[in-house]
Homo-oligomer: A and B are copies of this chain.
């Protein structure tokens, strides 16, 4: 298996990306890890060749798409960027997996344009798995498509269901649709239409609408939403969790500084239970290939996990199953 890794993408690139590649080495078999980016920098970070030359190769990319570059425009302008080259390699069957912690929009656009979509898929979706004390919950889409049509959400339900079945061995995963109330008639026009479509689709195990306050209780296996809403939720969760931990820590230091050390293992444990890094990046479902999008703040461990987990995704042949399912389910017929 050949895993293409964007060495220049992410807030801590290339250092943490290359460090993650090195950390992944000990768990790799004969997989090839292709680092794409500025060759001199990558070589400098890799260190002695005897450590890595068995598994790692480098493809030089002289350009970088920055985090705030316009996705489509920058892809057109920077055809020698690491993201553009990575997507093209995956499309040209020079890599089996593409992984990037860089500009998400550019990565989605690049992979979609180069790799194309699976037959029957209208739009790709990013699926993120969030750990809860009751187990992992998937949420799709979290930002690949911020102007979803009903058919897109219906397909996210199908792809999310397959993902949780294949990767987490959940039999007949339950699907929840984010809305402002549990009743079928609650929500905006998009949600009302999708509710009807999923409810009428006998291949899906629909749990109905779910409210956002229930997420951490894990009301279902897969949460389906528009990419705008999913992206806002994900970022809000990050900000809120960080904010609360910071405030608790401030109060602790202020009121009971002597407890700070004793309290640390508590917080470490809470963190660990909600450590999304364990799940190793978010797949871009629906593209004809395997693309994993990592958080912009990814450190070496996050990259290592994404590399190792990406093998499972290829091995499950989830794309074949998505294609088969979409061919057998007349999703487009019920589009409204």
Give 6 A-B contacts (CB < 8 Å), ordered by A residue.
Answer: A70-B185, A178-B232, A211-B235, A217-B239, A237-B240, A252-B266
Q: Is the interface of A mostly helix, strand, loop or mixed?
A: helix
CA distance A156 to B11 in the complex (A): 35
Where the two chains meet, the residues of A that have a C-beta atom closer than 8 Å to any C-beta of B are: 68, 70, 132-133, 143, 146-147, 178, 180-181, 183, 185, 187-189, 191, 211-217, 227-229, 231-233, 235-244, 247-248, 251-252, 255-256, 259, 262-263, 265-267, 269-270, 273
- A93 to chain B: closest CB distance in Å? 32
Q: Which residues of B contact A256 (CB under 8 A)?
A: 262-263, 265-266
Q: Which residues of B contact A233 (CB under 8 A)?
A: 212, 232-233, 236
A133-B247, A147-B188, A255-B266 given as contacts; is B237 within 8 A of A180 (CB)?
Answer: no
A229-B229, A266-B255, A270-B248 given as contacts; is B188 within 8 A of A212 (CB)?
Answer: no
- A264 to chain B: closest CB distance in Å? 10
Q: Which residues of B contact A262 (CB under 8 A)?
A: 256, 259
Q: Which residues of B contact A178 (CB under 8 A)?
A: 232
